[in-house]
Structure formats: C-alpha cells, structure tokens
Amino acid sequence: MSYFKSIIQDVKADPNNVSETNLEGWGQFIGTGSTTLGVVGLQVSLKTDRDCRVFVDQSPDNINWDIVDEFNYSTYDSFGITVQAVNSYVRVRVNNLENKVTSFFRLQTALCPIVEALPRSLDEDENLKTSAKIIGQDDKNNYHSIKTDVNGKIDINQSELFNTFQGILKELKKITFHLSIMTDNDITNNDIN
C-alpha cells in the first residue's frame, strides 16, 4: 500500500504572465512561456473596463503553441478560469477588443500543483464543453441524426424538406375542407365561448 505522508499546495503567481499595464485600443498583452512541469492547473484572472479575448496557450517546447484555449471577457465581468496543464509551457495573451485604452488592467496567472480542473478547459463563454446529438423521428418511428455542413449549419435534405411541406399542406387541406363544410347554423354561442 502506498500513500502520501503529506501534500503541500505550493501555488505560485507566474511573473511571466501577469500585468497591470493598460492596453491601448485594439492592443494586446503577450506573456512569455513559463514551465508547467510539476503544475496541474493554470488559473487566470482578469479585471478591466474593456471587452477582451483571453488566450491560454500551451507548448511542448516554448516555441510551438499547439494548445490554445480562448475565452471571452465582457467589460467589468468577474473573470477567473482554471485550465488543466497538459504541456510543458504556458503563456497568456489578452486582446483588447475595443478601440479605447483600458483605464485599469489587472491580469494574474497562478500555477497550481494540485487542482481539480473539470473538464480540462471551458468553452469561449466559460461554459462546460459539451456535445449533444439532435435526432428527428419520421412518421414510421425511424430516428435520423440531424447533420450539419462544413460551416456548422444544418444540412437540409431537399427531398425530406419537400415531403415535410407536402405533409403540412395535406393537413391544412383537411382543416380547410372541414371548415368549408361548416355553415353558420353549425356554430352556436357555446362553440364560440
């Protein structure tokens, strides 16, 4: 049986990826690579008065930034994210998305040896990265996956779309037929209420 005699959480602020220098309009902060060996979690926080885009880049060699997690920052938001360290180096970048200088800018990155980053990262709006499969059921109780084209738009099978519209028109004709055979004598005050 193996066990730890003690665990020390020695979180360190990363001096290469921290800044309080205001960004120019459309300006950018680019941190420099810091080793993540012995680190599990990368925690980044930002507070500023301009909309920004935050990037957490990871690299195996401090040259090629192969993993890039992107996040949106909206003016005056509370922004703090944890990303799992899966490569040997990290750097943080922030782009000012407005044509105005920030009046304050506080960016910090902390390197954490013990952290629970579930999942490895969040999506660009800080939501869990999830997936869903949308299916449709036809009139014979067969299920079909809804497909998308290369741009992510729903790929509509023209013949299926035509059949759907034909079915809708058929139902509308039935309703119209039933309404057309009704006369004023068929409608009573009780039917109206």
- Model confidence pLDDT, tens digit, residues 110-152: 999 988 766 666 777 767 766 656 666 667 766 666 666 667 6
- Residue 167, sorted as left (phi over 0), alpha (psi -120 to 50) or beta, turns out to be alpha
Residue spans per domain, the chain = 12-112, 135-184
Instruction: Find, among 57, 92, 53, the residue nearest to 73 by Cα.
Output: 53
> Residue 109's CB: how many other CB atoms inside 10 A?
23
Yes or no: is domain 12-112 CATH 3.20.20.70? no
Query: Do the Cβ atoms of 17 and 91 come closer than 8 Å?
Result: yes
Q: What is the pLDDT of residues 1-38, one digit of tens each?
A: 667 677 777 889 999 999 999 999 999 999 999 999 99
Tens digits of residue pLDDT in 76-119: 788 999 999 999 999 999 999 999 999 999 999 999 998 876 66
Q: What per-residue confidence (pLDDT) applies to 8?
A: 75
Q: Identify the pLDDT of residue 130.
A: 63
According to the model, what pLDDT value does residue 193 have?
A: 46
Beta pairing partners, 110 = 13, 43
Residue 182: its pLDDT value, please? 54
Cβ 11 vs Cβ 110: under 8 Å: yes
Q: So what's the pLDDT on residue 53?
A: 95
Query: Is 98 exposed, middle or buried, given 0-12, 13-18 or 19+ CB atoms closer than 10 A?
Result: middle
Q: Determine the Cα–Cα distance for residues 48 and 45; give it in Å rounded to an integer.
A: 10
